[in-house]
Amino acid sequence: MANLGFVGLGIMGRPMMKNLLKAGHTVVACGRTPSKLDACVADGARRGASNSDVGAHADIIFTMLPDGPEVEEVVLGGNGVLSGAKSGSLIVDMSSINPLVSQRIGAACTAKGVDFLDAPVSGGEPKAVDGTLAIMVGGSEEAFRRAEPLLKCMGSSVTLTGPVGAGNTTKLANQIMVACNIAAMGEALTLATRCGLDPEIVFNAIKNGLAGSAVLNAKGPMLIARNFKPGFKINLHQKDLRNALQTAESTHVCLPLTALVQQMLSSLIADGKGDFDHSAIATFVEAPSHTEVKRPSA
């Protein structure tokens, strides 16, 4: 059993940490919200005094944070994980951030003799809870093999995609496809509803055809039920698309659909929906269409 650290105990981080505990590993945890840390201690984790303390008392440290600036602060800050980490330890950042930031953090870790992987995830809270996340990893083969058994406690699909930064590049590709898929689903079901059809019947009719997808199966029922309890917030998806567009700009890649959906997300956030589940991307076309996607009896 491994001696692990975990920093970042939010919607995703806590269930991921719990799955490591369930597998029999010891975990020292730290987070900026005392109530969340208290809950993780109640789950069986040991309370870390600081990010540096987590680094000092764990051989492999996982981080799960909102964006690049938070990861840089937690790992590279004055009292960060790296300041306490021993040579030969491994830091696995599971946040979804700009690949260039991952590479910068990885270089700082290497300079101190610490291995680094970027390992963002897909699947949202439900898959974090049941340990079936898709995990996209960037880093060396040696570091990946060391972390792989632990990552499989949290995910059903764990793939080494290339060197440091490749995991987050892969995640950006994932987030582009998910966001555009939800937006297209919103247009399709809004059209069907406006034409007098029951969107649930339309959903059931198409879900097993070529238009079917994991996104449709997960987000279609949420839209129809008007259930936008966040498993993955619109605010966070906007951040991911922003990172995708910044990466595209630096590599001279044209992403017109991503740019359009990013504008849709900005509008939804301005409308107070930033904390809604990203299934609410599909609601963007409802207001100008004077239509709400729901069952006729609802």
232 and 103 inside one domain: no
Examine the fold and report which residue of 131, 163, 195 is the final residue of a domain before the chain moves on: 163
195 and 220 inside one domain: yes
145 and 7 inside one domain: yes
Taking only the tens place, the pLDDT of each residue in 101-126 is 999 999 999 999 999 999 999 998 99
83 and 228 inside one domain: no
| pLDDT, mean of residues 148-174 | 98
In a domain, 296, yes or no: no
155 and 14 inside one domain: yes
CA–CA gap between residue 93 and residue 67 (Å, rounded)? 11
Taking only the tens place, the pLDDT of each residue in 212-259 is 999 999 999 999 999 999 989 999 999 999 999 999 999 999 999 999
Phi first, then psi, for residue 183 (nearest 5°) are -60, -45
Q: Which two tokens stand for residue 167?
A: 């995991």
9 and 149 inside one domain: yes
CA dihedral in degrees (39, 40, 43, 46; nearest 10)? -130
95 and 234 inside one domain: no
Which CATH number does the domain housing residue 134 bear? Answer: 3.40.50.720
Burial bucket for residue 3 (CB in 10 Å: 0-12, 13-18, 19+):
middle
Q: Which two tokens stand for residue 247?
A: 């990466």
Taking only the tens place, the pLDDT of each residue in 48-82 is 999 999 999 999 999 999 999 999 999 999 999 99
Q: Name the H helices within the chain.
A: 13-22, 34-43, 51-57, 68-76, 81-84, 99-111, 124-130, 141-151, 166-194, 199-206, 214-225, 234-251, 256-270, 286-289
| pLDDT, mean of residues 281-286 | 98
41 and 188 inside one domain: no
Examine the fold and report which residue of 147, 163, 179 is the final residue of a domain before the chain moves on: 163
185 and 254 inside one domain: yes
| pLDDT of the residue at 40 | 97
| pLDDT of the residue at 261 | 98
In a domain, 81, yes or no: yes
CA–CA gap between residue 279 and residue 293 (Å, rounded)? 12
CA–CA gap between residue 281 and residue 258 (Å, rounded)? 13
In a domain, 294, yes or no: no
Is residue 298 over pLDDT 60? Answer: no
Which CATH number does the domain housing residue 240 bear? Answer: 1.10.1040.10
Radius of gyration from C-alpha coordinates of the chain = 20
In a domain, 232, yes or no: yes
In a domain, 188, yes or no: yes
Supply the range of the domain harboring residue 132.
3-163
In a domain, 297, yes or no: no
CA dihedral in degrees (32, 74, 237, 41; nearest 10)? -40
- pLDDT > 90 fraction of the chain, expressed in percent and rounded: 97
In a domain, 298, yes or no: no
Q: Specify the number of domains making up the chain.
A: 2
Taking only the tens place, the pLDDT of each residue in 25-40 is 999 999 999 999 999 9
Examine the fold and report which residue of 163, 186, 218 is the final residue of a domain before the chain moves on: 163
In a domain, 92, yes or no: yes
Give the strand pairing for 133-138 and 121-122.
antiparallel
- What are the DSSP calls for 45-73, one per residue? PEEPSSHHHHHHH-SEEEE--SSHHHHHH
24 and 125 inside one domain: yes
253 and 279 inside one domain: yes
Catalytic site positions: 171
Query: By three-state DSSP, how is residue 14 classified?
Result: helix
182 and 158 inside one domain: no
